[in-house]
Amino acid sequence: MSSKNIIILMIDGGRLDRAKNSSLFKEVKSRSVFFSNSITYSPHTIAAMHAFFSGCYGTRTGTNSYWSTYKFKKNRFKTLTEYLKENNYYTCADIVSEIIIPKQGFDEFLIHDEKKDDLTDRHIRLLETMKTKNTTGHNFFLFLQYSNIHTTISEEVLKVFDNFSKEYFENRKLNEQRYDKLFKKAESYLTSLLEKITLLDLDKNSLILIMSDHGVSVGEKVGERAYGAFCYDYTLRTFAYFLMPDFDSLEITQQVRTVDFMPSILELLHLPLDKNYSELDGESLLPLIKGQKVSEKIAYSETGNPLEEKKPPKMPNTKSVRTSEWKLILNEYNNSKELYHISGDPSEETNLSGQNLGIESVLWNEFLKIQKKAGIIKF
């Protein structure tokens, strides 16, 4: 697959439950490898996407909060873009802000106006430009961020309500309707781009990844009116559809991490890891795609709960470790723990922490291993 283009369509704030119930996404699923249990490193875009591009948690790369984009340790962690650039790919991104993803390795690093630009038209034009590059002998990597869900949530929720607003949390139905309207627009955008990709014959020689970075709250838990405050599943579970000409359709229900996608793409392209850089936290999912039995990996997530403040903290203060069955949440801001049997309690309503369940000790030890690997002395 070394001659394949790479197209990533990232739906900022795309909820997994909406994708599963969408007729469009069901059609996409019928011709893709669908990871239906992928866990993001962070429920906000900056940390989530730096982890995606590096294959590493922000605990090690330095980008672990809203405020740490420029702390990314680029001399220690090589990004997906850099690998592709070194292998003669033309690399282009169109995003809402320069702090969203690592900049290194991009030939074009475009910023769109989230309030004025028509992203469908803009991104179709970029696909046409990439097709021209392809026709003249260049493979390309195109990363497109659909930011309109984020934009509207910012304007209609984040700027209107606080994290404890009764008006917001007592109107769950209205919150659902607002989000569903936004998701419909995202579906329309995707429909147009996928049609254009087919029209340009890019579906025949490209690996296409349709993914979300994190979900968005519709009022499930008081204290989080959007995303980035807690480590609950409505924001941590994401969708990922790999459309690849060389593979049949397949749904993989085993838990994976979004940090696994970068090494998976590299292996699909037969590009070896650079030993001059730090080892990855993620692992290639190609064995799973090929039907091989692979042990489930612990998934780690973290974010910064703003509490009563209007801005999130500079460092994460709520963290989680999980298997597909159990999740342990550690809230440093009040020194509490939450343990959920998520396979039987997907809404995370019954906290089982402190009941002498062996799994709590197992997950706690896994958490300590991750902190130790990152060089965090606190634990």
Name all domains of the chain by residue range, CATH numbers in brackets: 5-289 (3.40.720.10), 299-373 (3.30.1120.10)
pLDDT of 257? 98
Q: What is the pLDDT of residue 379?
A: 42
Q: Is the pLDDT of residue 311 over 80?
A: no
Detail the DSSP E strand segments found in the chain.
Answer: 5-11, 33-39, 90-95, 108-111, 140-146, 206-212, 237-243, 250-252, 256-257, 299-303, 318-322, 327-331, 336-340
**For residue 133, what are the CA distances in angstroms to 90, 91, 92, 127?**
8, 11, 11, 10
pLDDT for 1 equals 42
Question: For residue 377, is pLDDT > 90?
Answer: no
Over residues 129-160, the pLDDT tens digits come to 999 999 998 899 999 999 999 999 999 999 99
- Distance in angstroms (rounded) separating the CA atoms of residues 138 and 357: 56
Q: Average pLDDT in the 323-339 region?
A: 96
User: pLDDT of 358-375, one tens digit each?
Assistant: 999 999 999 999 999 988
d(CA 240, CA 38): 7
83 — alpha (psi -120 to 50), left (phi > 0) or beta?
A: alpha
Q: Looking at residues 107-112, what average pLDDT do you find? A: 98
Give Cα 232 to chain centroid, integer Å: 14
State pLDDT tens for residues 60-98.
999 999 889 899 999 999 999 999 999 999 999 999 999
Tokens for 231? 């480590």
Question: Going by C-beta distance under 8 Å and a sequence separation of 6 or more, which residues neighbour residue 102?
Answer: 50, 53, 54, 72, 74, 79, 81
Residue 375: per-residue pLDDT: 85
341, two tokens: 């049997």
Q: Which residues contact 198 (CB under 8 A, 6 or more apart)?
A: none
Q: Which residue has the higher pLDDT, 180 or 377?
A: 180
- For residue 99, give the 3-state DSSP assignment: coil
pLDDT above 90: residue 177? yes
Positive or negative torsion for Cα 24, 54, 43, 93:
negative
For residue 231, give the nearest of 163, 304, 282 by alpha carbon.
Answer: 304
Mean pLDDT across the stretch 159-181?
95
Question: Coil, helix or strand for 298?
Answer: coil
State the average pLDDT over residues 299-318. Answer: 87
The Cα–Cα gap between 371 and 315 comes to 14
pLDDT more than 90, % of the chain: 90
Confidence check: pLDDT of 165 > 60: yes
Only one residue has tokens 């179709």, namely 124
2 pLDDT tier (thresholds 50, 70, 90):
low
pLDDT in tens, 207-260: 999 999 999 999 999 999 999 999 999 999 999 999 988 888 999 999 999 999
pLDDT, averaged across the chain = 95
* Rg (the chain; Cα; Å): 20
Any alpha helices (H) in 67-147, and if so which ranges?
A: 80-86, 119-135
| Count of residues in the chain | 379
